[in-house]
């Protein structure tokens, strides 16, 4: 059993080791993060000034679409799966994931899916241009021919996510060390367990909706085509039945990461562990009954608008419980602000801002004004960038010394944080104002009164992009050398992952640890 | 890995795969019919029902309701399509016939399908059609024109506050769709 990794490229191609696969997931997601980031910078460069400067409107639409798809399915989701692969077995005292071969497969189909998606940019008629939400009939009747490649790419990504989720559930349910009861599991494991169930429930719905599109386009059905008795609004219902749980898929593991990091640097145990578990479960449940708040303007009866409005606002309660618990964990703690903690504290503050703008959007009568404006763009970037992206970054800084045995450069880490923090607020905060003033989303040009705020946003975006290059440099420098990290890395951190040596050996917990 | 863990992993995987298959089937085979049923019950998307069998009922001459007719061409539809009268006054319970005028200005045979929508949504169940050109696809030779009939009854149980009903038809070009279907048959 005690053998090291194989040599050469085959180590990565054939590996069934959870650490190798986790590493590949993380590098892949970082590559996609840069690709999606380049698309975003094309958008921001075009919007730097009013008028059309750099790209054609048709290409601009392809950029907004590809940016959304690559960031959601290529950057955020695989990054969390990578973290789950690395950390869950080490946190619950398991030797590896439950289904190691499937684990290899679920990673290796991803590069093919994204190669296929990216190749549409070079095709005749261009890449998908209908927005990441691909509403029918834009994505069926009026779609470019490359839509079929997009559909198959989504199918493959869905299959990968489903396999990853099955693997995570099987690992958590069956592979825990003796004594590791469910209510003793670290919160990251808990949030991932719930996330994995969400994935199992809704990724097949996504596969279903793109399959229906495929049939409408090629096999003469009319699920979404009014001429044949179908209904385009049905598309939006099915899509958002997937789409709303999907946004929690992207944020629940982030909650878990932050719940691991804040206690370490506040030097206090997490406040309200059990309430965190129940709050996460309630959010997951509520995510299934709020989907139509994305479509208040389709013409719903008042009863429907009221139901979805109140159900949506209800989510603020468990989310508020979580924010309260994080703040209470920090309250009177002896806090220090290393890079992971900086990102986590910023997460709590900025995610809450995103939550508040979400509450504003939940108000059905007001949503008619906000719908499809930059206010919506500001809202979901505030929950995704300082939410999902900041938590992933925090997790990398937090566990990187455990992964590679070296400490990262703290000064560079803090510089990264302040650049990213400043950059993202400059980018996304002005979007609230232009959105409330009526600037619609997904347009390559805008009215003159929005010019100043858009210029600020574009400058912030390039600052944020530059910060990520610094991050990449810091991570590579840490892997190649640096101060040796201790086994504990931080001061008395909680969790089984800190009981193994740094760097974590290729095989950990071949003999299950004893959990008291 | 011990044998019992392997076994429970296999069982967990199978169960979860079952959920995956179930949700896929739910999305494709259950959600669309469920949505249509929901819309039919609530009249939500303004889709009017199928053919109605007229029964002997008393005409309620004490009330008059204005029924307005609207016609829209779907994006690339080249037909001329409009109602011959833009509105008509009816008493609840009374059967009326109006006609839409369609002509095909192109030099090829075309097939069209009209899709109805009615506002206010909550009176859909009180608007009955005994005959409608929207029940079938309409075929027109190149350059031909036709009068398309519509017979309807407004139910006498229609809520008192409703004074105006607007019935809209959007006409779609389904020529390709029908020739494809014919070819595959």
Tens-digit pLDDT profile for residues B108-119: 999 998 988 888
Tokens of A422: 């400043």
Tens-digit pLDDT profile for residues A259-299: 999 999 999 999 999 999 999 999 999 999 999 999 999 98
- Residues in contact with A356: Cβ distance below 8 Å, sequence separation at least 6, in sequence order: none
- Which of these, A424, A425, A428, lies nearest to A377 by C-alpha position? A428
A379, containing H or E segment: helix A374-383
* Residue A185, min C-alpha distance to chain B (Å): 19
Asked if A290 and A311 touch (Cβ cutoff 8 Å), the reply is: yes
Q: Which of A18, A19, A44, A322 is catalytic?
A: A322
By Cβ distance, the residue of A227, A233, A237 closest to B174 is: A227
For chains A and B, CB pairs below 8 A equal 105
Neighbours of A27 (CB within 10 A): 15
A96 is annotated as an active-site residue: yes
Alpha-carbon distance A424 to A382, whole Å?
Answer: 8
Best residue in A170, A211, A298 for a mutation probing chain B (most B CBs within 10 Å)? A170
Alpha-carbon distance A96 to A171, whole Å?
Answer: 8
Residue B104 at interface with chain A, using a CB cutoff of 8 Å? no
Give CA separation, B9 vs A141, A144, B82, in Å. Answer: 44, 43, 65
DSSP code of A484?
B
pLDDT tops 70 at residue A208: yes
- Which of these, A89, A103, A95, A258, lies nearest to A172 by C-alpha position? A89
- Which of these, A229, A141, A223, A225, lies nearest to B136 by C-alpha position? A229
DSSP strand pairing (B164-173 vs B110-119): antiparallel
Q: Which pLDDT score is estimated for B182?
A: 57
DSSP strand pairing (B65-73 vs B164-173): parallel
Asked if A200 and B20 touch (Cβ cutoff 8 Å), the reply is: yes
A379 is annotated as an active-site residue: no
Q: Which pLDDT score is estimated for B45?
A: 67
By Cβ distance, the residue of B9, B113, B172 closest to A98 is: B9
| CA atoms A482, A487, A493, A499: torsion sign | positive
| CA atoms B37, B42, B45, B51: torsion sign | positive
Domain ranges of chain B: 1-42, 65-184
A281 is annotated as an active-site residue: no
Alpha-carbon distance A304 to B18, whole Å?
Answer: 32
Q: Which of A139, A195, A319, A344 is catalytic?
A: A319
* Residue B172, min C-alpha distance to chain A (Å): 6
Q: Which pLDDT score is estimated for A430?
A: 97
Best residue in B8, B27, B76, B81 for a mutation probing chain A (most A CBs within 10 Å)? B27
Q: Which pLDDT score is estimated for A403?
A: 96
Tens-digit pLDDT profile for residues B35-60: 888 887 776 766 776 777 777 677 88
Task: Give all strands of the β-sheet with B127-132 in edge-to-edge order.
Answer: B80-83, B95-103, B145-154, B127-132
Q: Which pLDDT score is estimated for B38?
A: 83
Q: List chain A residues with CB under 8 Å of B180.
A: 220
Task: Give all strands of the β-sheet with B164-173 in edge-to-edge order.
Answer: B87-90, B65-73, B164-173, B110-119, B138-140
Question: Which residues sit opposite B102 in a β-bridge?
Answer: B81, B146
pLDDT tops 90 at residue A251: yes
Q: Which pLDDT score is estimated for A395?
A: 97
Phi-psi region of A287 (alpha: psi -120 to 50; beta: other; left: phi over 0): alpha
Q: Which of A120, A160, A280, A427 is catalytic?
A: A160
Q: Per the CB < 8 Å rule, is B9 touching A170?
A: yes
Q: Which pLDDT score is estimated for A198?
A: 97
Alpha-carbon distance A157 to A242, whole Å?
Answer: 14
Q: Which pLDDT score is estimated for B59?
A: 83
Q: Per the CB < 8 Å rule, is A204 touching B20?
A: yes
* Residue B106, min C-alpha distance to chain A (Å): 20
DSSP strand pairing (B138-140 vs B87-90): unpaired
Asked if A485 and A154 touch (Cβ cutoff 8 Å), the reply is: no
A246 is annotated as an active-site residue: yes
What is the overall mean pLDDT for chain A? Answer: 95
Tokens of A164: 């990853």
Asked if A81 and A171 touch (Cβ cutoff 8 Å), the reply is: no
Alpha-carbon distance A30 to A251, whole Å?
Answer: 17
Q: List chain B residues with CB under 8 Å of A174.
A: 5, 8-9, 12
Q: Which pLDDT score is estimated for A386?
A: 96
* Residue B61, min C-alpha distance to chain A (Å): 31
In A, minimum Cα distance to B6 occurs at A98
* Residue B35, min C-alpha distance to chain A (Å): 7
Q: Which pLDDT score is estimated for A235?
A: 95
Q: Per the CB < 8 Å rule, is B27 touching A209?
A: yes
Q: Which pLDDT score is estimated for B183?
A: 53
Tokens of A333: 């703690």
A432 is annotated as an active-site residue: no
Q: Per the CB < 8 Å rule, is A209 touching B42?
A: no
pLDDT tops 90 at residue A122: yes
Q: Specify the pTM.
A: 0.90
Asked if A21 and A86 touch (Cβ cutoff 8 Å), the reply is: no
* Residue A365, min C-alpha distance to chain B (Å): 19
Picking from A398-402, A411-415, B145-149, which range would have the lowest pLDDT averaged per residue?
Answer: B145-149
∠B70-B71-B76 over CA atoms, to 5°? 155
By Cβ distance, the residue of A99, A229, A237 closest to B9 is: A99
Residue B15 at interface with chain A, using a CB cutoff of 8 Å? no
Q: Per the CB < 8 Å rule, is A205 touching B27?
A: yes
Domain ranges of chain A: 16-499
* Residue B138, min C-alpha distance to chain A (Å): 12
Q: Per the CB < 8 Å rule, is A237 touching B35?
A: yes
Tokens of A240: 């958002």
Q: Which pLDDT score is estimated for A441?
A: 95
Phi-psi region of A7 (alpha: psi -120 to 50; beta: other; left: phi over 0): beta
Q: List chain A residues with CB under 8 Å of B39.
A: 231
A507 is annotated as an active-site residue: no
CATH level 3 topology of A16-499: Cytochrome C Oxidase; Chain A (1.20.210)
Establish whether the linkage from the previous residue to B84 is cis, with ω within 30° of 0: no
CATH of B65-184, one of 3.30.1330.40, 1.10.3720.10, 2.60.370.10, 1.10.10.10: 2.60.370.10
Give A300's pLDDT tier (boundaries 50, 70, 90): confident
Q: Which pLDDT score is estimated for A160?
A: 97
Tens-digit pLDDT profile for residues A443-464: 999 999 999 999 999 999 999 9
Neighbours of B64 (CB within 10 A): 12
Tokens of A69: 């798809």
Residue B30 at interface with chain A, using a CB cutoff of 8 Å? no
Percent of chain A whose predicted confidence (pLDDT) is above 90: 92
CA within 13 Å, CB half, A267: 10
pLDDT tops 50 at residue A1: no
Q: Which of A12, A27, A132, A197 is catalytic?
A: A132
Q: List chain B residues with CB under 8 Å of A507.
A: none
Three-state DSSP at A446 gives coil
A160 is annotated as an active-site residue: yes
In B, minimum Cα distance to A216 occurs at B177
pLDDT tops 90 at residue A420: yes
Tens-digit pLDDT profile for residues A226-248: 887 788 999 999 999 999 999 99
Alpha-carbon distance B52 to B32, whole Å?
Answer: 24
Mean of pLDDT values over A114-131: 95
């Amino acid at each position: 059993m005690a053998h090291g990794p194989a040599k050469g490229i085959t180590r990565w191609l054939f590996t069934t080791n959870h650490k190798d696969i986790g590493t590949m997931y993380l590098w892949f997601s970082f590559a996609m993060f840069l690709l999606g980031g380049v698309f975003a910078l094309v958008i921001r460069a075009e919007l730097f000034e009013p008028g059309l400067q750099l790209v054609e409107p048709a290409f601009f639409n392809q950029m907004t679409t590809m940016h959304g798809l690559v960031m959601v399915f290529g950057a955020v989701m695989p990054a969390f799966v990578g973290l789950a692969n690395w950390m869950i077995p080490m946190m619950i005292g398991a030797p590896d994931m439950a289904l190691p071969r499937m684990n290899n497969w679920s990673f290796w189909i991803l590069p093919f899916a994204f190669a296929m998606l990216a190749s549409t940019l070079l095709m005749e008629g261009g890449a998908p241009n209908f927005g990441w939400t691909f509403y029918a009939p834009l994505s069926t009747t009026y779609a470019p021919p490359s839509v079929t490649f997009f559909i198959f790419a989504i199918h493959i990504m869905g299959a990968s996510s489903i396999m990853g989720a099955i693997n995570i559930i099987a690992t958590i349910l069956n592979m825990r060390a003796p004594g590791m009861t469910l209510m003793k599991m670290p919160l990251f494991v808990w949030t991932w367990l719930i996330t994995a169930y969400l994935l199992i429930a809704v990724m097949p719905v996504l596969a279903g909706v793109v399959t229906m599109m495929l049939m409408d386009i090629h096999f003469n059905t009319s699920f979404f085509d009014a001429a044949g008795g179908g209904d385009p609004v049905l598309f939006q219902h099915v899509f958002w039945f997937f789409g709303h749980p999907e946004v929690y898929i992207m944020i629940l593991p982030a909650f878990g990461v932050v719940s691991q990091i804040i206690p370490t640097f506040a030097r206090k145990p997490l406040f309200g562990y059990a309430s965190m578990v129940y709050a996460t479960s309630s959010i997951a449940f509520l995510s299934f009954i709020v989907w139509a708040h994305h479509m208040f303007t389709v013409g719903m009866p008042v009863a429907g608008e009221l139901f979805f409005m109140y159900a949506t606002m209800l989510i603020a309660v468990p989310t508020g419980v979580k924010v309260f618990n994080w703040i209470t964990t920090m309250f009177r703690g002896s806090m220090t602000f290393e890079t992971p903690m900086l990102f986590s504290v910023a997460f709590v503050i900025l995610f809450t801002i995103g939550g508040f703008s979400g509450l504003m959007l939940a108000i059905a009568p007001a949503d008619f004004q906000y719908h499809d404006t930059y206010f919506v763009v500001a809202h979901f970037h505030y929950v995704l960038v300082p939410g999902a992206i900041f938590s992933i970054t925090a997790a990398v800084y937090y566990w990187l010394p455990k992964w590679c045995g070296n400490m990262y450069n703290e000064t560079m880490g803090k510089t990264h944080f302040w650049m990213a923090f400043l950059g993202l607020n400059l980018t996304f905060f002005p979007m609230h104002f232009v959105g409330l003033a009526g600037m619609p989303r997904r347009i390559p040009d805008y009215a003159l009164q929005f010019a100043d705020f858009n210029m600020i946003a574009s400058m912030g975006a390039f600052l944020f992009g530059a910060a990520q290059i610094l991050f990449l440099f810091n991570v590579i420098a840490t892997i190649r050398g640096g101060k040796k990290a201790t086994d504990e890395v931080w001061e008395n951190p909680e969790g089984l992952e800190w009981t193994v040596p740094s760097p974590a050996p290729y095989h950990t917990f071949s003999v299950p640890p004893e959990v008291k | 890995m011990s044998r019992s863990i392997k076994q429970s992993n296999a069982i967990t995987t199978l169960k979860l795969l079952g959920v995956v298959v179930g949700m896929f089937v739910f999305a494709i085979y259950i959600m669309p019919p469920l949505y249509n049923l929901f819309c039919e019950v609530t009249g939500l998307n303004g889709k009017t029902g199928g053919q109605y069998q007229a029964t002997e009922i008393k005409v309620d001459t004490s009330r008059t309701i204005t029924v307005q007719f609207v016609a829209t061409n779907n994006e690339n539809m080249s037909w001329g399509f409009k109602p011959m009268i833009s509105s008509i006054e009816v008493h609840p319970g009374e059967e009326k016939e109006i006609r839409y005028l369609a002509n095909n200005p192109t030099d090829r045979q075309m097939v069209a399908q009209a899709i109805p929508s009615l506002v206010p949504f909550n009176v859909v169940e009180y608007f009955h059609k005994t005959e409608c050109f929207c029940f079938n696809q309409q075929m027109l030779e190149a350059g031909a024109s036709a009068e398309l009939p519509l017979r309807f009854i407004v139910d006498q149980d229609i809520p008192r506050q409703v004074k105006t009903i607007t019935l809209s038809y959007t006409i779609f070009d389904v020529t390709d769709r029908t020739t494809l279907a014919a070819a595959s048959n």
